[in-house]
């Protein structure tokens, strides 16, 4: 018996609902926090004032922004003399087994601390981040405990670290405000080493690696800091810029694309610097209104389910 048009429509609707529900289940299964969700913070690091935030203290996955804390502890070790830039780091089997992004050194190979820092800051290499962690903490898990302790000491209240790379783990999470606090601490306590986050490329072993942060060199005053991406986290970025002697930090977590993440970072920085200028001239400007005029969408909660949640994307390779 032929199936009529109305029947085909009902079948199609049922299939569509089932398909969409299966995609939603797959997306939510990717993370114990559910699909990646938007969060943003704009901070003045000189005063620690939060100029703007949306879901600023909500729990989120940081992805490779994690490596800011990894390198923070490396910088601490260098400052204390426990580590030297010339020290060699031997790649363990555990480090070599990390998912991309990675440098790809085989177990037993070595890399200097100085080169390792650059590779982590520019290429966001997970294997080298783990190798640094093992050099300092003995094991990655012990280093992660040190990371969490440092987070508490800096005033990061919504953060727990489970690894040195930012690859997905149920016990690895943070908030946009905590990332802003970490970024401000980096600028305050490791200003002499901050420049590694400003490098647009780095050459090692005959290959030149480009920084995943494509805003470097393209946004006025922007000189760092770190991008990230996993299916769990969405696209993430903590950025800092200085204009007219004033510095701001902008953080976006859970963006659906790198384009939208970068657009939001630019909008927040532009709005923030405009607001600071208005303040200096004795005028009161509404930051949300300025943000909207810069194309920033306010009052976002969960973003639409992204295609990346159901595509075989290698973690970190598309930061």
Q: Is the bond into 101 cis (omega within 30 degrees of 0)?
A: yes
Q: How far apart are CA 70 and CA 117, in angstroms?
A: 10
Residue-wise pLDDT tens digits, 151-197 = 999 999 999 999 999 999 999 999 999 999 999 999 999 999 999 99
Candidates 3.40.710.10, 3.30.420.10, 1.10.357.10, 3.40.30.120; CATH matching 32-308: 3.40.710.10
Query: pLDDT value at position 316?
Result: 56
- The radius of gyration computed from the CA coordinates of the chain, to the nearest angstrom, equals 21
* DSSP per position, 247-263: EEEEEEEEESSHHHHHH
Beta carbons of 248 and 48 less than 8 angstroms apart: no
Residues in the chain: 319
Helices (H), the chain: 5-29, 66-80, 93-96, 113-123, 126-137, 140-154, 176-189, 258-280, 287-293
- What was the pLDDT predicted at 17? 34
User: Could you give the CA distance from residue 225 to residue 219 in angstroms, rounded to a whole number?
Assistant: 13
What pTM did the predictor assign? Answer: 0.86
pLDDT at 284: 79
Q: Could you give the angle at the alpha carbon of 236 between the alpha carbons of 269 and 91, nearest 5°?
A: 125
Classify residue 288 as exposed, middle or buried by CB count within 10 Å of its CB (0-12, 13-18, 19+): middle
Catalytic residues: 64, 67, 124
Map out the domains of the chain as residue ranges: 32-308
Mean pLDDT by 10 residues, the chain (319 residues): 38 36 34 74 97 96 97 98 98 97 97 98 98 98 98 98 96 97 98 98 94 97 97 95 98 95 97 94 87 88 47 53
Spatial neighbors of 206 by CB under 8 A, at least 6 apart, are none
């Amino acid at each position: 018996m032929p199936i009529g048009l109305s029947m085909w429509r009902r079948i199609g609707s049922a299939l569509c609902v089932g398909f969409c529900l299966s995609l939603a289940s797959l997306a939510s299964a990717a993370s114990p926090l559910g699909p990646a969700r938007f969060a943003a913070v704009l901070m003045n690091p000189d005063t620690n004032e939060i100029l703007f935030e949306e879901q600023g203290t909500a729990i989120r996955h940081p992805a490779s922004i994690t490596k800011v804390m990894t390198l923070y502890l490396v910088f601490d070790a260098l400052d204390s003399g426990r580590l030297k830039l010339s020290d060699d780091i031997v790649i363990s089997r555990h480090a070599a087994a990390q998912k991309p992004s990675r440098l790809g050194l085989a177990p037993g190979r070595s890399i200097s601390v100085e080169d390792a820092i650059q590779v982590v800051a520019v290429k966001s290499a997970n294997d080298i981040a783990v190798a640094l962690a093992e050099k300092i903490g003995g094991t990655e898990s012990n280093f992660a405990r040190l990371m969490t302790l440092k987070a508490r000491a800096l005033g990061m209240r919504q953060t727990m670290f489970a690894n040195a790379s930012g690859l997905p783990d149920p016990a690895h999470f943070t908030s946009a405000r905590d990332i802003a606090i970490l970024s401000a601490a980096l600028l305050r306590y490791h200003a002499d080493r901050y420049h590694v986050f400003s490098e647009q490329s780095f050459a090692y072993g005959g290959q030149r690696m480009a920084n995943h942060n494509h805003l470097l060199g393209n946004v006025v005053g922007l000189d760092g800091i770190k991008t990230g991406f996993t299916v769990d986290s969405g696209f993430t970025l903590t950025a800092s810029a200085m204009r007219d002697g004033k510095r701001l930090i902008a953080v976006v977590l859970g963006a659906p694309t790198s384009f939208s993440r970068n657009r939001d970072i630019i909008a927040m920085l532009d709005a923030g610097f405009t607001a600071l200028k208005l303040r200096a001239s004795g005028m009161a400007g509404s930051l949300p209104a300025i943000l909207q005029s810069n194309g920033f969408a306010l009052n976002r909660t969960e973003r639409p389910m992204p295609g990346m949640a159901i595509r075989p994307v290698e973690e970190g390779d598309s930061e």
